[in-house]
Amino acid sequence: MFIDQGYGAAIAFFFGLFFIPLVLGLSRSLGLYAVVQEREAQVFTLFGKVIGTLDDAGLRFPVSHFGLKALLLPFFGKRYLVSTALKQYYLRDQMVNSEEGTPMGVGIWYEMQVSNPVSYLFVNANPEGSLQANVASSTISTLSNLEMDKMLEDRHQLSRKVRATVSPLSEKWGYKLGSVYIRKVAFTDRQMVDNITEKVVKRLVQVTSAMKQDGENRVGLIKSQTAYKVSQKMAEAAATRPAVVGAALNDLRQKDPDVLAAVLDVMETDQLIASRAEVDVLPADAQMLVELGGASGPAPLALDSDAFS
């Protein structure tokens, strides 16, 4: 019986489509090969004893690593999958008391990663829970009875101290502790928070008022010093002016006395006009006694007409 070539290819395709996965699954269940994922370790035990670990990602053959006894693993052994990825945790509201007796709530962030899958599986029944309890207890013992200022300001140093305390035991349990950071230190008593807030607000108001008053005092001092210097300079200028004018007039007298006389006449006339005094004009050849300034004015003067020539 002959089968058409087209039908033969279709049958081969469907046969391979179902047969190959079946063969691969059967081989995998028999432990002939294992696929190790990224950030994963596979621990194999036989008769209750660990025979080895595969932690390199990719296709691996247990027989080549553990020998022929690997063929017994599907029947008398067991495979454990352990994630070696970095894990992060955050512990909230860990209660501690400061040196002043103030109850404080502390938040702790930390990260961990499995470094020894065998110890991680068999040394501690609950390694992550134990790590959490260890971090919490170390944080409480480190921060308790500390001064409140130090607890709020030195969190980096305190975090490193907690990490140094927890790390030796965590390595014994098969994982390494990464970064530890005390993220939050907060008051838990609401009334105390309100009292502290009120004190801070009052203190800010006092500081602001003191700064404002200091600024006003400085401005007033600068203004008074500036006014003093200005008045001093004005007085020096007023004292210097007569000497300057006198020196100029003396120089003019030496160079041209007629000009000096004319300048003095002009200045005198200008002062006379500025005084708004009454002026009586008489003929140039008048010889008489005149009364200047009206009946209530000063006594009569004898004027010579040559004085107006």
The 10s digit of each residue's pLDDT in 178-211 is 888 888 777 777 777 787 788 889 999 999 999 9
- List Cβ neighbours of 30 (8 Å cut-off, separation of 6 or more): 71, 74
Q: Are residues 54 and 39 in the same domain?
A: yes
Q: Do 93 and 153 sit in the same domain of this protein?
A: yes
Burial of 106 (0-12, 13-18, 19+ CB in 10 A): buried
Q: What is the mean pLDDT of residues 38-58?
A: 90
Residue 300 has pLDDT above 70, yes or no: no
Q: Please check whether residue 47 lies inside any domain of the structure.
A: yes
More confidently predicted of 146 and 57: 57
The answer to whether position 227 is within a domain reads yes
Q: Please tell me the total count of domains within the chain.
A: 3
In a domain, 291, yes or no: no
Q: Which of residues 67, 83, 99 is at a domain's end? A: 83
Same domain, 220 and 161: no
Residue 2 has pLDDT above 60, yes or no: no
Residue 277 lies in a domain: no
The pTM of the full predicted model, rounded to 2 decimals, is 0.54
Domain-located, residue 2:
no
At 181, phi and psi to the nearest 5? -140, 125
Residues 207 and 223 in one domain: yes
Assigned domain for 40 exists: yes
CB 166 within 8 A of CB 138: yes
**Structural contact between residues 161 and 146, judged by C-beta atoms closer than 8 angstroms:** no
Q: Are residues 30 and 96 in the same domain?
A: no
SS3 125: coil
**Is residue 76 domain-shared with residue 93, that is, in the same domain?**
no
Question: In the listed set 166, 188, 210, which residue is the last one of a domain according to the structure?
Answer: 188
Opening angle at CA 300, ends 298 and 301, nearest 5: 110
Task: Decide if 67 contacts 50 (C-beta within 8 A).
Answer: no
- Report the C-alpha gap between 98 and 10 in whole angstroms: 79
Same domain (yes/no): 75, 109? no
Half-sphere exposure of 41 (CA within 13 A, CB side): 19
Q: Is the same domain home to 150 and 169?
A: yes
Q: What is the pLDDT of residues 267-295, one digit of tens each?
A: 888 888 888 877 777 777 766 655 555 54
pLDDT score at 302: 47
Query: What is the rounded distance in angstroms from the CA atom of residue 47 to the CA atom of residue 74?
Result: 11
Last residue of one domain, picked from the residues 188, 210, 238: 188
Q: Does some domain include residue 298?
A: no
- Identify whether 288 is part of a domain: no
Residue 69 · residue 111 · CB < 8 Å? no
Could you tell me if 53 and 104 lie in one domain? no
**Owning domain of residue 208:** 200-269
**Strand (E) or helix (H) holding 290:** strand 287-290
Is 237's pLDDT higher than 60? yes
Same domain, yes or no, for 71 and 115? no
- Same domain for 78 and 102, yes or no, is no
Same domain, 125 and 208: no
